[in-house]
Homo-oligomer: A and B are copies of this chain.
Amino acid sequence: MRPALIPLLALLATQSGFAQTNAPADDWKPASSNQPGKEYPKVNSERRVKFRIVAPEAKSVGVTFRDSSPFTKGDDGAWYGHTRPLDEGFHYYALKIDGAEVPDPNSMMYFGAMRWGSAVEIPAADQDSYALRDVPHGQVREVFFRSKSTGTQRRAFVYTPPGYDENPGKRYPVLYLQHGWGENEYGWSVQGRVREILDNLVAEGRAKPFIVVMIYGLTNETRMGGLRDFDITPFETVLVKELIPFVDSGFRTLADQPNRAMAGLSMGGMETRTVTLRNLDTFSHIGVFSGGSIALADIKDPAAFKQKVRRVFIGYGSRELGGDRGNRGGDPKAAVAALKEAGIDAVFYESPETAHEWQTWRRCLREFAPLLFQK
């Protein structure tokens, strides 16, 4: 957001704080992200989340969502508190018990913010697009491949589309899809809903069936450290020299540049831009979700780029725009306009009323997938 707006928005946030206003709507329902059989956390029609944690001897209980209510202890020894209205979609959080930050034992566990921990799913108007529906399903396969450059056996998740096993003579294009910083190779198939989104698009005839491959986007196995001195070469080596040959030999792929795409969110978007620009003979479709954009100045040989790259997709959540998220590669809308001006097939997508979160990236995938491998 623009600096000048911050004080105003901060003021609005304070004024809309529930603590001083009416009681939240009393239509709480268990969150779909809960562990089996757990009543709490609950979500209401205002998109607030209410928590319950049994901690009879605690002095203070809270949650990492800003502007949440104070937690109060009930007669049952359980503490209750709730959030401000949240955006639609998926949000990581942790509980705080006397200074300890711990996962909510009632939530399913997701890897984000560099830990397996809790998160909550807020119902969304477009949730049917990422729901598990009664349509033919693809498979998500956990596979391991030998990586010489790192001396490890590395995990990949491979989504094979519906019909893959039933059509042993058919070959498929491949999308390599990366998570963000602090996340890992589980992100896209768990909170990202890759299977559901693509199964649904294929069932609706809106996307071609293709394979998706997801690996961990760093090579430091401890997942620590910052991005300032990030050297992408070790990851690029794993992806381009080791993973792609493994996938092309073990799966029925269309193993050529026109049928290979790369996309990623946030850090994975930065990785996508760097890796694809350096490997234009390997990838033909490029998707960058909340991870900067591609400026004309980034492209060394525009004629070669125009000839080789079939489509560029840049996506953002509306709440991210105007800030510094788009700075790499310049303002993303303007950058896409400039690409188009130069005759490159580029698309800009803005996810309404979402921030730097999974709801933005689910929608980016849903919008990107129908544009893949169409020409």
Contacts and interface: CB of A to CB of B under 8 A. Distances in A.
Interface of A: 35-37, 53-60, 77, 94-95, 97-103, 105, 108-109, 114-117, 132, 134, 137, 139-144, 146, 153, 165-166, 168, 184, 189, 195, 221-224, 250-251
A117 B105 contact: yes
Nearest to A133: B153
Contacts of A146: 134
Given A98-B58, A102-B95, A137 B144 contact: yes
Contacts of A97: 55, 58, 97-98, 100, 102
Given A37-B222, A103-B103, A137-B143, 5 more contacts: A37-B223, A57-B99, A95-B102, A102-B102, A139-B142
B144 A141 contact: no
A116 B36 CA distance: 9
Contacts of A100: 53-55, 58, 97, 102
Nearest to A138: B143
Nearest to A166: B250
5 contacts: A36-B224, A98-B98, A100-B102, A140-B142, A165-B250
Contacts of A189: 142
Contact of A105 (B55, B102, B137): B102
B105 A101 contact: yes
Nearest to A77: B99
Contacts of A94: 105
Nearest to A108: B116
Nearest to A61: B100
A36 B222 contact: yes
Contacts of A59: 57, 59, 98
A54 B99 contact: yes
A35 B116 CA distance: 7
A98 B57 contact: yes
A94 to B, nearest CB: 8
A181 to B, nearest CB: 13
Contacts of A37: 114, 222-224
Contact of A168 (B35, B109, B139, B168): B168
